[in-house]
Amino acid sequence: MRFFFQVAAAAVVCAAMCASTQRLGAQDTRTVTEPVIPPVCQTLKAELTANGGIAAGDEQKLDTARVQKGFDECAPGHALELASDGGRNAFLTGPLQLRKGVTLLVDKGVTLYGSRDPKVYEKSPGSCGMVNNERAGCNTLIVANHADDAGIMGDGVIDGRGGLKLLVDGKDSNKTWWDLAEDARKGGRQQVPRLIEMEASNNFTLYRITLKNSANFHVVYHHGDGFTVWGLKIDTPRNARNTDGVDPSSSKNITVTQSYIRDGDDNIAIKGGDGPVTNMTVIHNHFYYGHGMSIGSETNGGVSAIRVTDLSLDGDDDAIRIKSNPSRGGLVHDVVYDDVCIRNSKAPVFMDTPTPRPQPSPSSKKSAKASSPPAISPTSSSSTTTSPKPPHRRSSTPRSSAPSSAAKRSIWPGNSQKSPRDDHHNPPSQMPCYLSRESASILTMECLVDRRTAGAATPAMQLDSY
């Protein structure tokens, strides 16, 4: 598999990555339209005031019971509304369970905060808030289990408070949820809660909500058919380890659109673990820092029929990434990236197997070498004449100068700075790209950078993945 890029003087990579010369449509088999907020069954008024966070004296005043009671009493097709009451604008909860057909509606100006007390999330006594070798010791803050047609909507905020000190016996400890993630680098598993998790919940919707500071993954969607993410904002520091944005897992018919994501790990990670992920459309989105638009590392169930189009990635460590390892590898195919703009990324296209790989036998190496085309030098004149004809791109005028330093900074909704998407509408005129299968036993990726525009310090990159 080869991807060819031309890097403009402004260090912007605008690449069409396509399996054919045709621009293919959405892969989600549903007809997806902008969601509509359902009628309200009950409005809960905030009892806490949080100007910059929950006051220390309010940390034990949990709203969990009354919010859960609201879910349990709400009829399907309706929403439980969390609203402000004068200056009171905050809810503080432990784990919550959404019900079938019920939507959580968080009003603008209202924040639902997750508790900082690990005991609130424990699956068993002492199972949450440490690093050990056990699995999944903490309950997720908001769970939808077999809750078809449910959702989370509104212009408010859900804040996991991953960067604040944990409470132990009612007092601040010396560790945050994110500190535990760092401690786990030395060995063991971090026992921390996820923010939102859906299991076997068909036709689930996230709409306009803002998610912040999850202790771990922000959104996980398992074993479902029909998941719409529209107008989502995820805003978490880039140094918050393992804080994936949206992780669809073993599911089908998924659309992510009109969303803004920046976090400390994958912006989106498609995970085909104990079942396939298929029929997914990612369209009209902006990603900022994080680990980009990823597939894996779980691919053993297979990943297919994925379309990524009209995507800006500005400041991602890795932009387009496919990752796995020998313990969880599987077939990834029929994946198209089209109309993608990448800026300020360390690895615009990255395929990695982070654990030691089984080495091929000498005979298989010889066979793979014989079937592979000769290496192409990034400065070779012959490489341009032997490349396949590039797919059709809309006509454009090459940029004549680099953007200002202000234009290079990351953009966020409400910021008036120039977006990489603005640059993307005038990409470099020569953008050849193609995908092809070279060998059944070896996958070779070469990123060939035009040094005439990027400078000789930018090397070609090659990664072989067995």
Identify the active-site residue in 179, 265, 314, 339: 265
- Is residue 291 flagged as an active site residue? yes
Neighbours of 32 (CB within 10 A): 18
In degrees to the nearest 10, what's the CA dihedral of 226, 279, 413, 179?
A: 80
Could you tell me if 82 and 44 are in contact, meaning their C-beta atoms sit under 8 angstroms apart?
yes
φ and ψ of 384, to 5 deg: -80, -25
Nearest to 217 by CA among 190, 184, 188: 190
Residue 382's φ and ψ, nearest 5 degrees, are -70, -25
Q: Residues 218, 286, 291, 424: which is the catalytic one? A: 291
Helix (H, G, I), strand (E, B) or coil at 122: strand
Taking Cα atoms as reference points, which of 329, 330, 331, 325 lies closest to residue 357? 325
The DSSP output letter for 422 is H
CA dist 18 and 124 (Å) reads 49
265 given a catalytic annotation: yes
Q: Which residue is it, tokens 């198209």?
A: 336
Distances (CA, A) of 232 to 235, 305, 338: 10, 23, 21
Residue in 207, 80, 203, 90 with CA at minimum distance from that of residue 153: 207
| Catalytic positions | 265, 291
